[in-house]
Every structure is written in structure tokens, then in C-alpha cells.
Structure 1
Amino acid sequence: MAPLTLKPVTVDDIPSIAELWYTAFSIPVNLHMFPNTPGVREWWDNANRHDLLHNPHRKYLKIIDPSACDFLVGYAKWDLDPLESGERFPAWHKESDVELCDLVFTGCGEKREEFMNGRKHYYLDMLVVHPHYRRQGAASQLVKWGCDLADQNGLPVYLDAHIDASPLYRNFGFKDQEEATPEGAVSMIREPQT
């Protein structure tokens, strides 16, 4: 069996990214914010396509399984300059729960601003791995890519993790910044390492 392989995301991958997001994250709160409808999927596709083509700070990487016809196993969205790259998402789709999206994502943004306090940093915005490929190294490859780059440039990395995923990030040197929220989110920072 060929090893899982890290590659840049291409425009042709955009629909597969949305499909993977729904496969991995179809829990009630996520589906309330982002219902699995054609309109919301189109919103995801447009948002990701815009970032990929027009935002030089945002880097999309994928993990594929060469032994399964290059099946998309996982992807990550790294923001290499969140202080300059603009809004994280476009205006919410009309089928989304706008109030809940604002509450969750505004809260995440405010936490990041509070903890980073204007420091230049990298932001692991999104990390998604197909449930059948978890614990096979895909997430580690995606995290390592950004951590290595951050270390080369002497920068910290910030992310918002679900408490269940936090052990993975701790293995890379991330530290919890506070107790997890009632929804299970925890803010984590990794200082540059030599």
C-alpha cells in the first residue's frame, strides 16, 4: 500500500473538500450552522475557491491515498498572515443560522485576537480528515507542514481545537490557553521551536 501523500489543493478539488467536510463534521451544531443543501455547498465551494485563487496568505493542502485512486483523505487550510488576510468567511448563506454562525465564529476570532494580542502568527483555520482514515498519520502531516514553516520563520501558531482532537495538537507542542468551552472548543498556541 502506498503511503498517504501531501499535496497542494487544486481548484478541481473544491467540490471534494465540501463533501469531505460534511462527511467528517456532520454533527447537529455544524448542520445547524451549515445545512447540507445545494445552496450552502455552493457557498462553501465559492468561499474555498476564492481563498485558493485570490488570497495569497491562505494555503490549502490535501492528503490523498495513492492506493485508492488518489482518494481525498483530508485537507487543511492554513492562514499564514491572519492579521492581513481579511475576513475568514464571506457573508453567511441565507440558509445558514446566521446568529449561531456569528456567535461561534466571532467568538473564535475574538479569542484569537485576545491571545495573540497583535503578534504575527500562523493560524490553522481548518483541519478535516475522513473518518475511515483517522489515526493513520494524515492529520499529523497537515499539522507538521505548518508547524515546520512557522519554526523556520520564528512564528507562533494558533488554532481552535475540539477537545477530542487536542491530544494530537499537544503532541506538536500546542498548549491550551484556557478551559474548553461548553461546546468542547479549546484555544491552543504553539510557540516557535528550534
Structure 2
Amino acid sequence: MGFVVVPATLPDIRAIYDVWFAAFKGQLILDLIYPGTDLNDEAFRKVHTEGTLEYWKGLSMEHTFQCIDTDTGKIAGMATWQVYWRERTAEERQKPWIGWLEGDQRERAEGFLGQLWEKREKWIGPKRHVYCHTVAVHPEYQGKGVGARLMQWGMSVAEQLNVPIYLESTVEGVPLYQKLGFQTLSEDILFKPEITRVDKEVRAPLMVKMPIAAGNMTFEEWVEDKSPSVKAT
């Protein structure tokens, strides 16, 4: 079994999100942003694909990749990266909103995304960085190194720019990122039961990876530094 990671193109949208939906089936994120939705419904998938197509057309800083099984041609996984080689604009830092939901469902989803946004604003603000927006591996390919392959592109770009990578993980995802050299920040995100709809808080660890050029500089020190990128030490 061989794999290759290549950029996603517009015709790949439907197949890529087949993988994304399969990877996150039964998890909190889908219940939040697509509550009560039959993800296999053809009408929903048509609207989702068309909406994603329009979204991609307007992107300048976000890049989606797919990992292909070269034996079968199937998409084994996907990842989306945001590369801020320059400081983020005010528009790029706006608080996220969910236009397709209403009432309590919208409040709940935006409450979830708002907590992610608040932490990223606190730690990153406008500074140059690489953000791992999502990594999804199809259940058939989990445990085969696909996730690590999808991480390599963003890690390489961060080294070229001498900037850190920032991401929000699940508790289950922490070991993968640690193997790749990521560190867990001293604080994480706790989602309250009114958002998760379960009896306990759900934790989302925040993880970062500093570039080699940082030497002994910690992420916290970088946050306080006013330089546009890490200074080689």
C-alpha cells in the first residue's frame, strides 16, 4: 500500500468531504454544525458541495490537501492548512458565525467556534503563523501513517517561514501530534455541557510546534516577542 499527498482541486470536493464526514461521524463537531442532518442525504451533500466550492473560490490563505492510496485511487485522508506568511488582517480575525443555523442551534454552534476563536486570538492575534484547521483520516486508513503524512506539508512551510504551527486537538489526537514534535500549551479549552449536550465538560488541548530556528525559545516567549518571525538562535 502506497500513499501520496497532493493538493486538492475543485472536482475533489465531494470525495474529500466523504472522508471528512466519515472520519468525524458521531463526534461533537458534526452534531454542532449539522445538527439532525442526514449526512448521506443527496440534497444536503449537493448543497454542501456547492457551498464549499464557492468558499474555496474566495480563499487566499487556506490550502487543502488529500492523501491518496496509490493502489486503489481512494482518498485516505485530507487536511486543511492556513498559512499566514504575513500578519492576519482584521477581516481574517473576525469571530466565526454559522449562517445556515438559527436560534438555539446557531447559538450553540457559534458558542463552540467562539471559544476556539478566543483562544487563538489570545495566543496568536495578528501574528504570522501556520494554522492546522483540520486533519481527517478515513476509518479504513486510520493507524497507517496517513495523518502524519498530511501534517508534513504544513510543518515544512512553517520551517520555511520560521513561524510556529498552532492547532486545536482532541484528547485522542494528542499522541500523533506529540510524535511529530508538538507540545501542549498550559491551558486548553473546556466546552461546557450546554454546548456538548453531555454530562461532562469536553476538553480540547491546544498544541504548538516551534520551528527549528527558534532554538530554546518557547511558544510563550514568541507570543510576547514583537518580531514578525522567529529569530534564529
TM-score in same-fold range (> 0.5): yes
| Unmatched tracts of structure 1, length 5 or more | none
Aligned residues: 192
Residue aligning to 2:218: none
Give 1:23-172 correspondences, 5 Å limit. Answer: 23-27=22-26, 29-33=28-32, 34=34, 35=37, 36=39, 41-42=45-46, 44-68=48-72, 70-81=73-84, 83-84=88-89, 86=92, 91-94=98-101, 97-172=105-180
The answer to whether the 8 A contact 1:23-1:130 is kept is: yes
The structure-2 alpha-carbon separation of the partners of 1:160 and 1:64, relative to structure 1 and needing over 3 Å to count, comes to same
Quick one: distance in 1 between partners of 2:31 and 2:172? 21
Superposition RMSD on alpha carbons, in Å? Answer: 2.5
Q: Percent identity among equivalent residues?
A: 24
The structure-2 alpha-carbon separation of the partners of 1:91 and 1:103, relative to structure 1 and needing over 3 Å to count, comes to closer
SS at match of 1:60: strand
The structure-2 alpha-carbon separation of the partners of 1:88 and 1:167, relative to structure 1 and needing over 3 Å to count, comes to farther
The answer to whether the 8 A contact 1:59-1:79 is kept is: yes
The answer to whether the 8 A contact 1:163-1:180 is kept is: no
Largest Rg, 1 or 2: 2
Residue aligning to 1:189: 208
Q: TM-score, normalised by structure 2?
A: 0.73
SS at match of 1:125: strand
Q: CA deviation at 1:128?
A: 0.5
The structure-2 alpha-carbon separation of the partners of 1:159 and 1:76, relative to structure 1 and needing over 3 Å to count, comes to same
The answer to whether the 8 A contact 1:57-1:80 is kept is: yes
Quick one: distance in 2 between partners of 1:54 and 1:23? 26
The structure-2 alpha-carbon separation of the partners of 1:125 and 1:21, relative to structure 1 and needing over 3 Å to count, comes to same
Give 1:10-21 correspondences, 5 Å limit. Answer: 10-21=9-20
| Unmatched tracts of structure 2, length 5 or more | 191-200, 214-233
SS at match of 1:127: strand
Q: TM-score, normalised by structure 1?
A: 0.87
